[in-house]
Amino acid sequence: MGGIIRLTARGAVAWIARAFVALALIGWAGTASAAMYIGAGLTEVKAEDRAVVAHPQPVQLLFVFQTKGAPNAAATKFVKQMVTDTVKASGAFSEVSDAPTSNGAILSVVINNVVAPKDMSDAEGKGVLVGATFFIAGTNVVDHYIGSVDFVGGPTSPKISKSAQQILITQIGLINSAPQNAVKVGGIKPALAALVNQIVGNPLNDVAKDPGFQMADNAGAAASTAAAAPTTAAAPPVTPTSAALTPTASPTMAPPAEEHH
């Protein structure tokens, strides 16, 4: 019995040692040979295309990162600041905060890392090939993302929803060719920053251009003016009419990049 326990303990130590070596190798590989590309079909919002918001109002920002539709708390924490920066840079809001705002406006952003089952099995096969050849044989692995932006201008306002899709391509191994229809973006952090900028910035711009958003914008400005000058006539309701509702999303599709082996 004691022998078994000692053998198991030695096995565990050996296993941990192998795990450390593997992680070190992955870390090295990630630094030395992994490159990131982003789909060329979707770009960041150009200055001339940016929605003009005459009277930006404060908004409460909610964000969730999902993996295959399930909330991924760790990734949410990692990406949240990037999303906040993108929303602030849009100029669509006077203030962006986690807390409720006086007008009750909420902007909800969801980024979902979706995977087709075929991509999963392909990825595994490619990974085995790269590992078996000690990073000599290279491959490109595609991750798909859907960015959804929902906005409500107040407690009883209709929801405006827009979305966009984008891909990130991870190139691993030494011998590889650049994927087509994709732009090189460096390592994982700049890739994520570019992804967030595009996949949140574009649907957010679509939201800001929506007639329902513009009505909420105008009503919010009127309410602010009335609040600043209480002796004037009553402010109009801050809730836009349902006629301004845009209930369905109009996804901005990014064409898939070709994979090279």
CB of 123 to another protein, least distance (A): 4
The Cβ of residue 89 has, within 10 Å, a number of other Cβ atoms equal to 15
Site for another protein, rule CB under 8 A: 15-16, 18-19, 21-23, 25-26, 29-30, 60, 62-64, 66-68, 70-74, 76-77, 98-100, 104, 106, 108, 113, 115, 117, 119-120, 122-128, 130-132, 135, 139, 141-144, 150, 152, 155-156, 168, 170, 172
Least Å distance between CB 77 and another protein?
4
- The answer to whether 169 and 36 are in contact (CB under 8 A) is yes
Nearer to another protein, 51 or 191 (CB): 191
Kindly list the distances between the CA atom of residue 26 and the CA atoms of 18, 130, 170, in Å, as whole numbers in the listed order: 12, 11, 14
Name the residue nearer to another protein (CB basis): 41 or 131.
131
Distance (Å) of CA 116 to CA 38, 105, 188: 18, 35, 21
CB of residue 128 vs another protein: minimum separation in angstroms? 5
Nearer to another protein, 50 or 144 (CB): 144
SS3 6: helix
Q: How far is the CB of 167 from another protein (least distance, A)?
A: 10
Q: Tell which residue, 93, 61, 97, has the closest CA to residue 221.
A: 93
H/E segment holding residue 67: strand 57-67
**Backbone torsions φ then ψ of 116, nearest 5 degrees:** -80, 140
Between 55 and 159, whose beta carbon lies closer to another protein? 159
